[in-house]
Every structure is written in C-alpha cells, then in structure tokens.
Structure 1
C-alpha cells in the first residue's frame, strides 16, 4: 500500500499537518506528548518496585497460623 511513497509524499503530509494544526500548536503538542511519555515511564518503573499486594501477602501462611494448626 505504501510501497510507492517517496520523500515528496512525506513533505506534502508534513505541510498538510502544519496547515491543519497550525505552527503554534505543534510545540505544545510535542511538549504534551513528552510529558505523557515521562509519566508513563515513571509509572512503569514504579510498578516494578512495588511490594506485593496486601491480598497476596494475606494468602501466605504466617508462623502464627502454623502454630495454631499444630
């Protein structure tokens, strides 16, 4: 489908985008996208460092439960 596209087509697409969104809006859109990506990376990094959920720890038997069962 895109096999016949070349550099001129890309240039035309960029010009159309500039006309649609306007030059002043593009930096704001790029800044917003950058902030969103930064937040996403932080959330992904924090998700890996989170301790186990309270439900998962409640399901594990404790030493007190083992003594009560004996």
Structure 2
C-alpha cells in the first residue's frame, strides 16, 4: 500500500509491462504526476483503486520508449 504515496517530488514514472499487480493507493497523496504504462490498458489483477487519491495526474497507456 502507498508504495509511492506522498512522494511530493515525483513528477513522472514508467511502469513496465512486467508489473503484474498494483494495489490500493499506490500513488495515494501524490499530485501533478504523469504515469507512463507500457501496458495498453489496466491489466487483470490490478486494483481498481490503484491510483489512490492523486490530484492533477495524467496516465499514458501503451507507452514505448
């Protein structure tokens, strides 16, 4: 829970396709963050509440580097 929660200086993160689970509130309390995901859509097994209570966020599905 809250793996990256309240990391006030975290502005962007890349989540590789190999991540098989995201649970409740991974980014809880963060704000102004862009989350790049290599997966095309939310994988089976991820919590529907994985974002937590983020303010001003952007999620980019299908990210390639």
> What TM-score, normalized by structure 1, do the two folds share?
0.18
> What TM-score, normalized by structure 2, do the two folds share?
0.19
> Looking at both structures, which has the greater relative contact order when contacts are Cα pairs under 8 Å and sequence separation is at least 6?
2
Q: Which has the larger radius of gyration?
A: 1
Kindly indicate which of the two structures has a greater share of residues assigned to strand.
Answer: 2
